[in-house]
Amino acid sequence: MIKTQNLSFQYGSQKPISFPDINCESGEMMLVLGQSGVGKTTLLHLLSGLIMAKGGTVTIADQDLSKLSHKKLDHFRGQHIGVIFQKFHFIKSLNVLENLTIAQKLAGKPIDENRCKELLDNLQIGHKVNSKINELSQGETQRVAIARALVNNPAVILADEPTSALDDTNCQAVLDLLSTQAKQSGAALVIVTHDTRLKDMIDHKITIS
C-alpha cells in the first residue's frame, strides 16, 4: 500500500536527506523514529505528496505520486490519504461536524453526515458534534483530527507526532485509537515521531538519523 525506494529530498543548497525504504501494507502499522530535525516531517510530506522527492519514488495504492499532475495529485490525496498534522488546521468558525463534512466535500466525496457521526461516536466524542473547535480540549481536538483523517476511508493514514505532548495514559489511548480505526478501515498507518515510548508498542519500525 505504501512503498518507497531510494527516496531523497533537498532543501535549497543543504545536504540531501536520504530515507530508508518503506513497505507498509493494508492493515499494517509502521513507526518512523528519529530526533527532531532529521527529516521525519519531510518524509511524511513526501508520502502525502505535499512535496516531491529529489530522487527515488513514492508509491501509494499502486500509484507513483510523481506521475500525477498537481490537480490529479490533490484529488488522489483526498481520495486515498488521511493526514494527522502536528498543527490541526481546523476552520475555527465551523463546528466539529462541519469540519468533517468539508473534508468530504474537498475530496469530491458525497457529504455523509452519518459517517462523520459514526466516527465521532467511535472516538467517544459524538456529543461534541455541534461544538466549535475552540470549545474542545486538546484531547478532544486530537480525536476530531483522527476522525477527519479517516472520514474518506483512506487507504493510507499518516500521523505526525500524535503523542509527543501527551502523558503515558493518553499516549496509549491515542495509539490504540489509531490502530483500531486503521484496522477497521483496512488502512496502512505510518506514525512519524521522536516519542521513544512507542518503540515497544509497535513492532514494524524504521529510524531516520
Number of Cβ atoms within 10 Å of the Cβ of 10: 14
- Judged by DSSP in three states, 84 sits in strand
Q: What SS3 class is residue 175?
A: helix
Q: Under 8 Å CB-to-CB from 29, ≥6 apart: which residues? A: 178, 179, 182, 189, 190, 191, 202, 204
Q: Report the residue count for the chain.
A: 209
Per-residue pLDDT 10s for the chain (209 aa) are 899 999 999 998 888 999 999 999 988 999 999 888 889 999 999 999 999 999 999 999 999 999 999 989 988 998 899 999 888 889 999 999 999 999 999 888 899 999 999 999 888 899 999 999 999 988 889 889 989 998 998 989 999 988 877 788 878 888 888 888 788 888 999 999 888 888 888 889 998 98
User: Which cell numbers in the block locate residue 209?
Assistant: 538519523
Domain 2-207 has CATH 3.40.50.300: yes
Quick one: pLDDT at residue 199?
84
Whole-angstrom Cα distance, residue 34 to residue 89?
24
Question: In the chain, at which residue ranges do the beta strands (DSSP E only) sit?
Answer: 2-9, 17-18, 22-24, 29-33, 55-60, 63-64, 81-84, 156-160, 188-193, 205-207
φ, ψ at 89 (rounded to 5°): 60, 40
100 Rama sector, left if φ>0, alpha if ψ -120 to 50, beta otherwise: alpha
Residue 65: count other Cβ atoms within 10 Å of its Cβ: 21
Grid coordinates of 58:
513514492
CA distance 149 to 168: 23
Q: Is the dihedral of CA 160, 165, 166, 168 positive or negative?
A: positive
Domain boundaries, the chain: 2-207
Q: Which three cell numbers stand for residue 36?
A: 527532531
Stated as kind and residue range, the H or E segment containing 205 is: strand 205-207
User: What pLDDT, on a 0 to 100 scale, did the predictor assign at position 29?
Assistant: 92
